[in-house]
Amino acid sequence: MKDEKDYTSILQDAFQKGYDYLARWRACAPTVFAAVMDAIGYENDDLATEVWKATVGLTGGTGNMAIGTCGALAGAAAAISLSFGYTKHDIEKDVVKMLKLNAAVAELGEKMMQKYRGISCQDVQFHHWGKAYRFTNQNALLEFVSMSPGKPATPECQQVTGDLAKWTVENIIEHNPEFINLKK
């Protein structure tokens, strides 16, 4: 980063994209992944576009079952993983690289647990509403959707995707600053 102003601007951009994109796609994993990639200069990158496709099924605690890792964290993990750039060969040759990458992802998980009392979709839902919704159940999904009438997403979930996008960019700046692709 050139200076503190650039750093702050990138983090604000990541948060805002993470907040806004959820309303576009209603899917937390691809939202966070795209918000991070777009904020750090990969908006039109072919590889980032292909990885985005792979994050869609990680939404809603994996496949909307709500029992897995929050999709926002899954999308963040995909972005962090991509920033490390390790190949299959890199990991086969030196498994410590995978451990280093996973430690970076775990840092984000710890931050999420502190703010949202967990990393599963259900944990985040309990934090916000005192109960959880399994989105594969039509009645539960309808009840959840009714909490944001006239809006495509709940502000609570948008806050989560905004936070995770911002924290992920911070993480990438800390661990892989050379991955930042902003041309100024």
Q: What is the tens place of the pLDDT at every residue in 43-90?
A: 999 999 999 999 999 999 999 999 999 999 999 999 999 999 999 999
- How far apart, in Å, are the Cα atoms of 178 and each of 3, 73, 131? 15, 22, 41
pLDDT of 183 reads 77
Q: How confident is the model at residue 3 (pLDDT cuts 50, 70, 90)?
A: low
Q: Is the pLDDT of residue 184 over 70?
A: no
Residue found by looking up tokens 């806050």 in the block: 159
- Name the band, by pLDDT with cuts 50, 70 and 90, for residue 5: low
**What is the signed CA dihedral for 172, 173, 179, 184, rounded to 10 degrees?**
140
Residue 168, pLDDT > 80, answer yes
| pLDDT value at residue 152 | 84
- CA 151 from chain centre, in angstroms, equals 21
**How many angstroms separate the CA atoms of 138 and 173, rounded?**
40
Predicted confidence (pLDDT) at residue 14 exceeds the cutoff of 80: yes
Predicted local confidence at residue 148, as pLDDT: 87
- Average pLDDT of span 6-27: 96
Using the predicted structure, report yes or no on whether residue 1 has a pLDDT greater than 60: no
Tell me how far CA of residue 15 lies from CA of 149, 158, 169, in angstroms.
23, 9, 9
